[in-house]
């Protein structure tokens, strides 16, 4: 019976993928009236990778589904919208136990409603991304390289978040012709005791060129916008603190475009989140869309630096190329990463990903 259900799921996913490639600009939507509508989408990322073991020097090989998501969004009343997203990650990925992850689990990734009082004040409530940095607030469907920075969600496990998400209430708004953005929220955070205070987050960003006004940031606009945004954020709960600063640039150049992002985050879990020691994490991403060729060479550099010890410190140097058959709706990305820890042996990782996205 389980194999029948799995076959049906694969068939449905295949049909949806065909819909994406055939008519990516169309929208699968149910419209009740001018104030009520629901739209649907999918994100499918199939991935193959080869990761070298730093001790044995052997390679672990994988072909698996990195993300399989169903997206539902809509409006239920004037100025009242919602967004719900499920995920089934890492299907058939090899496990350290010597088997593979055949348990296909569907869980809630995002689920929040938004009430727009005015552009300067919107209230979000539910399960949502809470990162202080830009990279941690980006959509997985529009990333510049294959995936987020290695340490972007370093806070997720220690704060008992779900893939960087937490439940809470957030105020968000835009001033100065949508160029100045703020976010301020109260979230559940780490619950080591029922009396624990809640987790506070905040962020401010200023767009010097085209504004960015969506909940999720975009990793690369592929030359469709002119963007220069600088931002910063913080998190606080008990004696855990995090501070972030970031800059994002995306601009057309001839028939192509240049994209660059720099994120710097300092995490310090203190005595509260002992699994998140004091560290400085840096992420640099650069991509150059080569004219009308649809090819985009990329580099991704990530660094973790602990001020009190060399253990755990490492640099990751990545270089690869993306090919956008249909923008973010259909693309192939390849990346080679050199993993260089401060203590221990260096290792290599090769990754290729096929993405289909419809929303």
The residue extents of the domains of the chain are 2-358
What is the C-alpha separation between 73 and 221, in angstroms, rounded?
22
What are the b/e assignments for 256-285, b being 16+ CB within 10 Å? bbbbbbbbbbbbbbeebbeebbebbbbbbb
- Cα gap 28→357, rounded to integer Å: 13
Q: What is the pLDDT of residue 10?
A: 42
Query: Is the CATH number of domain 2-358 3.40.50.170?
Result: no
The predicted structure's pLDDT at residue 99: 84
Low-confidence ranges of the chain (pLDDT < 70): 1-26
**Tens-digit pLDDT profile for residues 1-53:** 444 444 444 444 444 444 444 444 567 788 889 899 999 999 999 999 999 98
Write down the pLDDT at residue 11: 42
Percent of the chain with pLDDT over 70: 93
DSSP structure string for 4-49: HHHHHHHHHHHHHHHHHHH-TTS--EEEEETTEEEEEEEEEEEEEE
Residue 299 CB partners (closer than 8 Å, separation 6+) = 284, 285, 286, 287, 317, 318, 319, 320
User: The pTM is what?
Assistant: 0.89
Beta strands in the chain (DSSP E): 29-33, 36-52, 59-77, 80-87, 107-118, 121-129, 165-175, 180-187, 199-207, 227-237, 240-253, 256-268, 279-289, 295-305, 314-324, 330-341, 347-358
The CA distance from 340 to 170, in Å, is 38
- Give pLDDT, residue 90: 92
How many angstroms separate the CA atoms of 356 and 96, rounded?
29
> Which tens digit of pLDDT belongs to each residue from 75-92?
999 999 999 999 999 999
Helix intervals (H) in the chain: 2-22
**155, 135 contact by CB (below 8 A):** no
Q: Tell me what pLDDT residue 9 has.
A: 46
Query: Which region, left, alpha or beta, applies to residue 99 given φ > 0 means left and ψ of -120 to 50 means alpha?
Result: beta
Say what the pLDDT of residue 26 is.
64
The single-letter DSSP state of residue 274 is: T
Q: In the prediction, which pLDDT does 70 show?
A: 96
């Amino acid at each position: 019976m389980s194999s029948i259900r799995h076959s049906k799921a694969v068939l449905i996913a295949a049909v949806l993928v065909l819909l994406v490639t055939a008519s990516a600009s169309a929208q699968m939507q149910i419209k009740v009236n001018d104030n009520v509508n629901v739209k649907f989408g999918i994100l499918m990322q199939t991935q193959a990778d080869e990761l070298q073991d730093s001790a044995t020097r052997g390679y672990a090989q994988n072909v698996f589904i990195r993300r399989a998501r169903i997206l539902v969004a809509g409006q239920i009343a004037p100025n009242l919208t919602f967004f719900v997203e499920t995920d089934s990650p890492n299907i058939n990925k090899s496990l350290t136990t010597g088997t593979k992850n055949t348990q296909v689990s569907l869980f809630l990734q995002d689920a929040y409603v938004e009430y727009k009082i005015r552009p300067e004040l919107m209230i979000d409530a539910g399960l949502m991304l809470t990162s202080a940095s830009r990279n941690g607030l980006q959509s997985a469907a529009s990333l510049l390289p294959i995936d987020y920075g290695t340490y972007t969600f370093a806070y997720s496990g220690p704060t008992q978040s779900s893939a960087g998400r937490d439940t809470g209430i957030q105020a968000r708004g835009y001033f100065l012709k949508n160029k100045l953005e703020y976010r301020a929220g109260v979230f559940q955070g780490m619950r080591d005791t029922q009396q624990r205070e809640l987790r506070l987050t905040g962020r401010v960003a200023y767009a010097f060129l085209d504004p960015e006004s969506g909940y999720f940031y975009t990793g690369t606009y592929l030359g469709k916008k002119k963007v220069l945004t600088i931002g910063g954020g913080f998190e606080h709960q008990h004696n855990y603190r995090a501070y972030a600063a970031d800059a994002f640039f995306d601009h057309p150049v001839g028939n192509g475009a240049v994209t660059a992002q720099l994120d710097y985050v300092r995490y310090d879990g203190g005595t509260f989140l002992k699994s998140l020691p004091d560290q400085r994490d840096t992420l640099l991403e650069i991509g150059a869309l080569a004219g009308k060729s649809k090819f985009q060479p990329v580099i991704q550099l990530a660094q973790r630096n602990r001020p009190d010890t060399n253990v755990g410190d490492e640099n990751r140097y990545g270089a690869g190329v993306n090919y956008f058959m249909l923008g973010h709706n259909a693309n192939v990305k390849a990346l080679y990463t050199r993993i260089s820890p401060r203590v221990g042996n260096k290792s290599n990782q090769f990754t290729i990903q096929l993405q289909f996205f419809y929303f």
